[in-house]
Amino acid sequence: MTTVEPTTGTTAGGNVQDMARDSVKTVIAASMVGTAIEFYDFYAYGTAAASYFPTVFFGGTGLAASIGALLTFAVAFIARPVGSLIFGHFGDRMGRKTTLVVSLLTMGVSTFLIGCLPSYETIGIWAVVILCLCRFAQGIGLGGEWSGAALVATENAPENKRALYGSFPELGAPIGFFLSNGTYFLLETFNDDAAMLSWGWRVPFLLSAVLVVVGLLVRVHMEETPIFRMAQERQEVVKAPLVEVFRKSWKQVLQGTFLVAVTYTLFYTLATWSLAWGTKDVENGGGGLGFANREYLLMLMAAVCVFALFIVLSCLYADKIGRRRVLMFSSVALVVFAFAFPYLLMGEGKRDFVAVMVFLCVGFALMGIAFGPIGATLPELFEANVRYSGSGISYNLAAIVGAAFVPTIATWLSANWGVRSVGLYLGVMAVCCLIAVITCRETKDVDFTK
């Protein structure tokens, strides 16, 4: 059973009178597990799209098959704002708990079904059609996941630790990433390419069912957040939260979108595009760096530990010095990184482990600094009665702007204009983030109950 702690006293200017609150362990588990599944699912898909789907679903190899496979990657991102509209509406009307349970089920079932799909060789173009439908449904579920998880964490947090509590769903990212990479690494260690193309690629998708069951067990027994219950008691729940968001908070939606977008661009540049660049030859859209898939996966798994560390560190600093300062630093640092990293990835055929590890570790450190405070900052931009909708729409619009076509665009750019053009692409997104940070107010001390 869930441990529940009574809540008394004040939070940021509002009274939360004798309300039950989930224990820290429950908050961590309930908020972290969904993001872990999100990144597990998405990175499992990204790895499969980069390595196996060109053959399994597009019947061949070469740049065209690679781009086709990576385009299916974008489908879920296009669906995510739709999911945020649906789940945001019910999350602000009915509460965070029920909405999170439904979003997790939608996401989990869709991912599991991807692992069961027949190949192009078996049913032709219908394999691609069904894959896109499953991917779209996965995106619908994911559209309601992050914002709900962030609210479970921050709406249960002490007022001076919201960024730290907001790091719980953010830490799900490196956990899911590590689990996905680890699964592929083990599979590729004990199976040859033929086995991986035949059945091995399916295993990570089927195993996601285990994570979903764990998540459901935690979420079914958790309490509704005290701040949402306070909004209910004050009769502040609105009938049309989406209308309220776009009527009163459209500026915050735009700011939130570009605060998050660069983290998506960076993540999928590091995790999906660079995997293909490091392991494929030039004819197949890679950089011919000479790495085996297993070698690159192992380097990514090491670098993602840096990601987790810097999420926690950035959140601790965000609680001390404010969200704005931390995000300002990460934006400027990302502009510098965008122009510097291409020089680490130009050694065709050299297998330069040191250069690639510097690229991955520095990139993931900056990813942690940029991504960590978002768990608190995005919800703090919106009032309590539209917080699920506002933060969800911003986060998922950022997925389209910053992530949906990143592997495809980066592959096309690098194939036609070289790796420096990928750096320029990331640099433009970092500048957009910097502009959003400059126009945002500091949210560290906002009244989170209103």
Parse the chain into domains and list their residue ranges.
21-439
Contact 315, 375 (CB under 8 A): yes
Contact 217, 72 (CB under 8 A): no
Listed in sequence order, the residues at least 6 apart from 375 whose beta carbon sits closer than 8 Å to its beta carbon are 150, 153, 154, 163, 165, 166, 167, 168, 169, 170, 315
pLDDT by residue (tens digit) across 244-277?
A: 888 888 899 999 999 999 998 998 899 888 888 8
Integer Cα distance of 84 and 253 in angstroms:
12
Predicted local distance difference test score (pLDDT) of residue 13: 40
* Overall average pLDDT of the 294-310 stretch: 92
Structure tokens at 111: 């991912």
Predicted local distance difference test score (pLDDT) of residue 61: 67
Angle (CA) 161-165-168 rounded to 5° is 160
Examine the pLDDT at 26 and tell me if it is beyond 80: no
Integer Cα distance of 73 and 80 in angstroms:
12
pLDDT by residue (tens digit) across 147-156?
A: 888 888 888 8
Best CATH choice for the domain 21-439 from the list 3.30.230.10, 3.20.20.70, 3.40.50.10470, 1.20.1250.20: 1.20.1250.20
State how far Cα 266 lies from the chain centre: 11
Q: Which of 16, 345, 52, 38 is nearest to 158 (CA)?
A: 16
Amino acid letter, 87: F
Instruction: Please give the residue that has the higher pLDDT: either 1 or 116.
Output: 116
Structure tokens at 195: 């086995």
Question: Could you write out the three-class secondary structure of 415-429?
Answer: HHHCHHHHHHHHHHH
Of 4-8, 141-145, 330-334, 353-357, which range is least confident?
A: 4-8
Examine the pLDDT at 7 and tell me if it is beyond 60: no
Integer Cα distance of 103 and 84 in angstroms:
10
Contact 100, 144 (CB under 8 A): yes
> Which of the four pLDDT bands, split at 50, 70 and 90, describes residue 12?
very low
Integer Cα distance of 399 and 411 in angstroms:
18
pLDDT by residue (tens digit) across 339-386?
A: 999 999 887 667 888 999 999 999 999 999 999 999 999 999 998 788
Listed in sequence order, the residues at least 6 apart from 383 whose beta carbon sits closer than 8 Å to its beta carbon are 248, 249, 450
Rounded to 5 degrees, what are φ and ψ at 11?
-130, 110
Angle (CA) 267-147-205 rounded to 5° is 55
Is residue 313 classed as helix, strand or coil in its secondary structure? helix
Amino acid letter, 224: E
For residue 10, what is the enclosing H or E element?
Answer: strand 10-11
pLDDT by residue (tens digit) across 44-87?
A: 887 888 788 888 888 776 777 777 887 887 788 888 888 888 88
Examine the pLDDT at 34 and tell me if it is beyond 80: no
